Amino acid sequence: MGGGGQLTEPGEPGSGRDDGVYTWEEVQRHCNRNDQWMVIDRKVYNTTQWAKRHPGGFRVIGHYAGEDATEAFTAFHPDLKSVKKFLKPLLIGELAATEPSHDRNKNAAVIEDFNTLR
């Protein structure tokens, strides 16, 4: 997308990918403070730079680095329309069609708790 901004091209540089389609294994490699990706509704976002400016704090976002954050995102952002404008420039791709919607380590009880909270 160029221009020197923080927008990220699909297929993160150096990933060897240019189609913006990722597996959970690829997403889970981006799980530290200096390299954070997360999945929300099967879309893959690079939240590395945003985490420092996140109104809820960097720890909340960091907790979901390399993981599916759909339930937490939906539970803590009741005004989805206004929040999604912040997500758009962070979008780098989506999960491959062959990948499950949630990472394999996702606890069903946690998903239900977030649904209850929402």
pLDDT 10s digits, 62-106: 999 999 999 889 888 888 888 888 999 999 999 999 998 876 665
- What are the two backbone dihedrals, phi and then psi, of residue 46, each rounded to the nearest 5 degrees? -95, 105
Average pLDDT on 109-116 reads: 59
| CA 6 – CA 67 distance, rounded (Å) | 21
Alpha helix (H) ranges present in 33-97? 58-63, 70-76, 80-87
Q: pLDDT at position 102, please?
A: 72
For 12-44, the pLDDT digits (tens) are 444 445 589 999 999 999 999 999 999 999 999
Q: Answer yes or no: are the C-beta atoms of 5 and 80 closer than 8 Å.
A: no
Is the pLDDT reported for residue 1 higher than 50?
Answer: no
| Strand boundaries in the chain, DSSP class E | 21-22, 31-32, 35-40, 43-46, 91-95
Q: pLDDT at position 108, please?
A: 57
Number of H helices, E strands in the chain: 5, 5
